[in-house]
């Protein structure tokens, strides 16, 4: 198979790689915020349970979680494995990344001084107004570098979807590599990921720069 | 009329009795300075008055309206709608607590617009005027990190004034500043005093307290040990603890 052909075949899978990437971000970023609020809840039962769940999600391989989400329903409830693997992939990825994001959010929120909350309280801001207008913008600014790190990892982690044979770029590359006994598809995959992450780095750098108009 | 009236206020943290029954009132247009030993409860008193802390006991009222009251069983309660009281007072912090991601103008304008839902253009005009009065005209678009401590504190005073409070509290407004910067902030407060702004100022600047206040309150170990005109307290106090305190301050 020519190099050009390999690029074309894998390029077709790249759309699915992007689907995993963008859908995971779409769901995990807000879900992470909900989890971090539950983790910081004054209700210790909620907070402790959340802490435990997050530690499991962070302390076990994403691959294992993906297998559990994809095949667990079959073994547990005899529900047939869904044909469209994108659904379990996005669920597993979103929940896993939300766990990581929740800890980043929590660190950011807890790093804001009480003085900011007190100044807002004296001026009469409601709790929601305080969070949205005063706290959140400062938190985003602070956590952006850590979030960028996670996003870069996510780009590479999309390849884990090969464990459930979801036909994304890496899965296709692996199939070509097997059938042609060639290493070239893996090199091509490396190029795809590298370029993808270069773009991620560029975009995140722009966003970080646009927020660095004040010293923190 | 009394803008603020606090009666027999008690507050403890754990078994640390910080306020042991303080009664305190502020008349409209009055400037009251609070002085006293470190840990005596001055900040706690301001924090209770501004609802950052809840009191354990005692009645607080603003403009004759009760913030706290005793119910039928003699249990202390807070009024349901506390938001209306937040329009009455402002507080200037020792550490400014400006919003770092907002420009100077936005720091000052944001609360009147988003909290009081006032007209933006109108608020802007007022705020620009206040900033000019405080000598901050050229800093309108700057961010707090670009300002000196003295400028930041003046912005935070404007931020409080923009809400048009009936009473303004200051908790050691110059303690975080380099000595050469305290003057510009004290000047601004003095200017407000001349305009008959009702103010309560916790300060360690004795000369300033003496010059600007109508009344000086000396708080020691959670109690008001003495209060009176600046002359009475600084001039010839007969209170032993006040005497000792002022001596330690070298006046
Ligand atoms: N949130 C809190 N939790 C526990 N103890 C507190 C709290 N705030 C204040 N205290 C205690 O209350 C006492 C009075 O503190 P406060 O800050 O009111 O004193 P102060 O008169 O303002 O002193 P200073 O001149 O040093 O500012 C101190 O013993 C302090 O440790
Ligand atoms: Mg204090």
Residue having the nearest C-alpha atom to atom 26 of ligand 1: B38
Q: Which secondary structure element, helix H or strand E, spans residue B132, and what is its range?
A: helix B120-133
Query: Which ligand lies nearest to the CA atom of residue B41 in the structure?
Result: 1
Q: What is the DSSP string of B6-67?
A: EEEEEEEETTEEEEEEEEEEEETT-EEEEEE-TTSSHHHHHHHHTTSS--SEEEEEETTEES
Mutation target vs B (from A138, A210, A214; most B CBs, 10 A cutoff): A214
Tens of pLDDT, residues A114-132: 999 999 999 999 999 999 9
Residue A179 class from Cβ within 10 Å (0-12 exposed, 13-18 middle, 19+ buried)? exposed
* Number of domains within chain A: 1
Ligand 1 center–CA B218 separation, angstroms: 16
Q: What is the DSSP string of B142-182?
A: --GGGS-HHHHHHHHHHHHHTT--SEEEEESTTTTS-HHHH
**CB nearest to A138's CB, from B97, B100, B159:** B100
Take residue B156 and report the two structure tokens written for it.
């935070």
Mutation target vs A (from B88, B102, B115; most A CBs, 10 A cutoff): B115
Query: Which ligand lies nearest to the CA atom of residue B38 in the structure?
Result: 1
Q: Is B90 on the interface with A (CB under 8 A)?
A: yes
Tens of pLDDT, residues A16-30: 999 999 999 999 999
For the residues A9-18, what does the mean pLDDT come to?
Answer: 92
For the residues A85-100, what does the mean pLDDT come to?
Answer: 96
For the residues A177-181, what does the mean pLDDT come to?
Answer: 91
Residue having the nearest C-alpha atom to atom 24 of ligand 1: B38
- Shortest CA distance to B177 belongs to which of B169, B188, B167? B188
Ligand 1 nearest atom to the CA of residue B219, by list position: 21
Distance CA A32, CA A30 (A): 5
Q: Is B225 on the interface with A (CB under 8 A)?
A: no
Which residues lie closer than 8 Å to B247 by C-beta, 6 or more apart?
Answer: none
Give the residue on B whose Cα is nearest the Cα of A137. Answer: B101
Q: Is B193 on the interface with A (CB under 8 A)?
A: no
Residue A41 structural domain? 3-214
Query: Which ligand lies nearest to the CA atom of residue B222 in the structure?
Result: 1
Q: Is B163 on the interface with A (CB under 8 A)?
A: yes
Please answer yes or no on whether A214 and B144 come within 8 Å at the CB atom: yes
Q: Is A137 on the interface with B (CB under 8 A)?
A: yes
The answer on pLDDT for A1 being more than 80 is no
**CB nearest to A119's CB, from B83, B86, B97:** B97
Pairing of strands B2-13, B16-27: antiparallel
The minimum CA-CA distance between A154 and chain B, rounded to whole Å, is 29
Q: Is B159 on the interface with A (CB under 8 A)?
A: yes
| pTM metric for this prediction | 0.91
Tens of pLDDT, residues A157-171: 999 999 998 999 999
Pairing of strands B68-70, B76-78: antiparallel
- Shortest CA distance to B51 belongs to which of B76, B86, B4? B86
The answer on pLDDT for A82 being more than 80 is no
Query: Which ligand lies nearest to the CA atom of residue B52 in the structure?
Result: 1
Please answer yes or no on whether B93 and A138 come within 8 Å at the CB atom: no
Confidence label for A178 from pLDDT (cuts 50, 70 and 90)? very high
Q: Which secondary structure element, helix H or strand E, spans residue B2, and what is its range?
A: strand B2-13
Q: Which residues pair with B219 in a beta bridge?
A: B36, B224
**Residue A56 sits in a domain of what CATH number?**
1.10.3720.10
Give residue B50's pLDDT: 97
Find out whether A165 and A177 touch, Cβ atoms under 8 Å: no
Selected residues 87-116 of chain A with any CB under 8 Å from a CB in chain B: 113, 115-116
Give residue B250's pLDDT: 66
Mean pLDDT by 10 residues, chain B (251 residues): 94 95 95 95 97 96 94 91 92 97 97 96 96 95 95 97 97 92 93 95 94 95 94 88 85 49
Give residue A81's pLDDT: 77
Give the residue on B whose Cα is nearest the Cα of A120. Answer: B111
Which residues lie closer than 8 Å to A182 by C-beta, 6 or more apart?
Answer: A1, A176
**How many A×B Cβ pairs under 8 Å?**
60
Distance CA A170, CA A162 (A): 7
For the residues A102-118, what does the mean pLDDT come to?
Answer: 97
Any idea what DSSP says for residue B80?
S
Residue B137 class from Cβ within 10 Å (0-12 exposed, 13-18 middle, 19+ buried)? exposed
* Beta-carbon count within 10 A of A121 CB: 18
Q: What is the DSSP string of B176-222?
A: TS-HHHHHHHHHHHHHHHHTT--EEEE-S-HHHHHHH-SEEEEEETT
Q: Report the residue among B10, B16, B217, B221 best suited for mutation to probe ligand 1: largest number of ligand atoms under 8 A from its CB.
A: B16
Residues with CB under 6 A from ligand 1: B 13, 16, 18, 36, 38-44
Of A101-110, A205-214, B163-172, B241-250, which gets the smallest average pLDDT? B241-250
* ipTM exceeding the 0.90 mark: yes
Q: Report the residue among B20, B22, B38, B41 best suited for mutation to probe ligand 1: largest number of ligand atoms under 8 A from its CB.
A: B41
- Shortest CA distance to B32 belongs to which of B236, B193, B207? B193
Any idea what DSSP says for residue A62?
H
Ligand 1 center–CA B177 separation, angstroms: 20
């Amino acid at each position: 198979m020519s190099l050009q052909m390999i690029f074309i075949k894998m390029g077709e899978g790249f759309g699915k790689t992007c689907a995993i990437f963008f859908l995971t971000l779409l769901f995990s970023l807000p879900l992470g915020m909900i989890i971090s609020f539950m983790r910081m809840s004054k209700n210790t039962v909620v907070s402790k349970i959340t802490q435990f769940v997050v530690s499991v999600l962070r302390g076990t391989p994403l691959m294992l979680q993906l297998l559990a989400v994809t095949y667990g329903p079959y073994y547990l409830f005899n529900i047939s494995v869904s044909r469209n693997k994108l659904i379990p992939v996005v669920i597993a990825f979103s929940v896993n990344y939300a766990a990581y994001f929740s800890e980043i959010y929590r660190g950011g929120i807890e790093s804001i001084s009480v003085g900011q909350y007190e100044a807002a309280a004296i001026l009469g801001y409601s709790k929601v107004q305080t969070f949205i207008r005063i706290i959140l913008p400062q938190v985003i600014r602070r956590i952006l570098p850590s979030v960028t790190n996670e996003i870069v990892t996510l780009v590479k982690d999309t390849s884990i979807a090969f464990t459930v044979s979801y036909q994304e770029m890496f899965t296709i590359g692996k199939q070509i590599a097997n059938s042609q006994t060639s290493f070239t598809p893996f090199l091509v995959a490396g190029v795809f990921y590298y370029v993808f992450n270069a773009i991620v780095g560029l975009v995140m750098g722009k966003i970080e720069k646009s927020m660095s108009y004040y010293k923190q | 009329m009394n803008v603020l009236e606090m009666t027999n206020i008690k507050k403890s943290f754990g078994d640390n009795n910080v306020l042991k029954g303080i009664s305190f009132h502020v008349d409209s247009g009055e400037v009251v300075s609070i002085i006293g030993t470190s840990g005596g409860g001055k900040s706690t008193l301001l924090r209770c008055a501004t609802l950052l802390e809840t009191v354990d006991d005692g009645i607080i009222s603003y403009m004759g309206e009760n913030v706290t009251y005793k119910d039928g069983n003699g249990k202390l309660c807070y009024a349901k709608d506390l938001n209306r009281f937040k329009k009455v007072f402002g507080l200037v912090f020792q550490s400014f607590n400006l919003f770092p991601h907002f420009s100077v103008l936005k720091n000052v304008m944001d609360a009147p617009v988003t909290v009081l839902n006032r007209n933006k253009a109108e608020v802007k005009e007022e705020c620009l005027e206040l900033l000019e009065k405080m000598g901050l005209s050229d800093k309108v678009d700057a961010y707090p990190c670009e300002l000196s401590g003295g400028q930041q504190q003046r912005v935070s005073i404007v931020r409080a004034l923009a809400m048009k409070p009936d009473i303004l509290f200051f908790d050691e407004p110059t303690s975080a500043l380099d000595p050469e910067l305290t003057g510009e902030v004290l000047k601004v407060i003095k200017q407000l005093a001349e305009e008959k702004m009702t103010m309560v100022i916790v300060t360690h600047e004795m000369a300033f307290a003496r010059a600007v206040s109508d009344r000086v309150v000396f708080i020691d170990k959670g109690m008001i040990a003495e209060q009176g005109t600046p002359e009475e307290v600084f001039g010839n106090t007969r209170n032993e603890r006040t005497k000792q305190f002022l001596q330690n301050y070298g006046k």
